[in-house]
C-alpha cells in the first residue's frame, strides 16, 4: 500500500520521514567530528554565571528540571546542575553526546525536532547558539515543540545568532566579514565574543 493510505500514527510517522528536516545534515560538520569536539572547550571557553543567575531569578531552583538543547560539550549543564534537581542535555551530535556522557551528564542524542522528554515536564528549556542551525520554518516548529514540552508557566531562555543586515546586503556584508575573519578570529577568543556581534536574547518567556 503506498505511504499515506494507511490511517494512524504508523503511516504518519512513515510519511514524516519523507519531508521532516534532517537535523544532522544541518548541525555543522565540525560538531559531528570527535577531534573537533575534543578541543571544543579549549576553543570556546564559556562563563555561565549570568545565565545561571537569570534562571534562578526566574524561579528555577533545587526542585527544577532544566533541558538544554544544543548543549555542545555540556558546560552550561554542568554550571546549572548544582542549582537544580535534573538537567537533560539534548544534542544531535553523537560525538557531543559521548563527550557529555563521559563527564557524567544526562545526555540524550536528539534534536529540536525530535526530542521526546521522559519524566516530569521541564521547568525551563535553555538553548544557546544552536537554533540558528535550523532554517526559519523549522525554527518555528522547534519553538512550538518547546512550548509544548515546558510545564505551564515554565521558562524558555534562548540565546541565538541572527543576521544583522538586510537580505539585499548579504553579498557585500558576508564578503566583508570573511575578509576580516582572520582578524576577528584573533580578537575573538571565545564564542561569547563572536556571538556578541549578532545576538538575540529572549528571556522570561513563560509557557
Ligand X SMILES: C[S@@+](CC[C@H](N)C(=O)[O-])C[C@H]1O[C@@H](n2cnc3c(N)ncnc32)[C@H](O)[C@@H]1O
- In the complex, the residues that contact ligand X under the rule CB under 6 A are 23, 27, 31, 44, 46, 69-72, 91-93, 96, 111-112, 128-130, 133-134, 191
Question: Which CB, 84 or 96, lies closer to ligand X?
Answer: 96
Name which of 72 and 122 has its Cβ closer to ligand X.
72
Partners of 124 in beta bridges: 66, 155
111 or 154: whose CB is closer to ligand X? 111
CB of 1 to ligand X, least distance (A): 32
Closest CB 31 distance from ligand X, rounded Å = 3
CB of 151 to ligand X, least distance (A): 21
Question: In the complex with ligand X, which residue's Cβ is closer, 43 or 206?
Answer: 43
DSSP-assigned letter for residue 129 = S
Pull the grid cell for residue 155: 521558562
**Rounded CA gap, 191 and 171, in Å?**
24
Cβ closest to ligand X, residue 11 vs residue 191: 191
DSSP state of 204: E
Of the pair 20, 177, the CB lying nearest ligand X is at: 20
Only one residue has cell 529540536, namely 112
- Phi first, then psi: what are they for 86, rounded to 5°? -150, 140
Ordered strands of the 86-91 beta sheet: 107-109, 86-91, 65-69, 124-128, 155-161, 199-206
CB of 82 to ligand X, least distance (A): 19
Nearest-angstrom CA–CA distance, 114 and 110: 6
Q: Are strands 124-128 and 65-69 parallel, antiparallel or unpaired?
A: parallel
As measured in angstroms, the least distance from the Cβ of 174 to ligand X is 18
Cβ atoms of residues 89 and 77 within 8 Å = yes
Minimum gap (Å) between residue 90 Cβ and ligand X: 6
Amino acid at each position: 500500500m503506498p505511504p499515506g493510505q494507511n490511517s494512524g500514527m504508523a503511516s504518519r510517522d512513515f510519511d514524516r520521514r519523507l519531508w521532516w528536516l534532517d537535523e544532522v545534515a544541518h548541525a555543522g560538520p565540525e560538531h559531528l567530528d570527535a577531534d573537533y569536539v575534543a578541543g571544543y572547550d579549549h576553543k570556546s571557553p564559556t562563563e555561565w554565571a549570568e545565565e545561571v543567575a537569570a534562571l534562578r531569578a526566574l524561579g528555577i531552583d533545587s526542585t527544577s528540571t532544566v533541558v538544554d538543547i544544543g548543549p555542545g560539550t555540556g558546560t552550561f549543564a554542568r554550571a546549572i546542575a548544582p542549582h537544580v534537581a535534573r538537567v537533560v542535555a539534548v544534542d544531535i551530535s553523537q560525538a557531543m553526546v559521548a563527550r557529555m556522557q563521559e563527564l557524567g551528564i544526562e545526555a540524550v542524542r536528539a534534536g529540536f525536532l525530535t526530542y521526546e522528554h521522559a519524566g516530569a515536564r521541564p521547568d525551563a528549556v535553555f538553548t544557546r547558539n544552536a537554533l540558528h542551525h535550523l532554517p526559519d520554518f523549522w525554527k518555528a516548529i522547534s519553538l512550538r515543540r518547546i512550548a509544548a514540552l515546558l510545564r505551564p508557566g515554565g521558562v524558555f531562555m534562548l540565546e541565538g545568532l541572527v543576521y544583522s543586515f538586510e537580505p539585499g546586503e548579504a553579498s557585500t556584508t558576508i564578503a566583508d566579514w570573511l575578509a576580516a575573519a582572520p582578524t576577528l578570529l584573533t580578537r575573538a577568543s571565545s564564542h561569547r565574543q563572536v556571538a556578541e556581534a549578532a545576538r538575540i536574547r529572549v528571556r522570561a518567556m513563560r509557557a
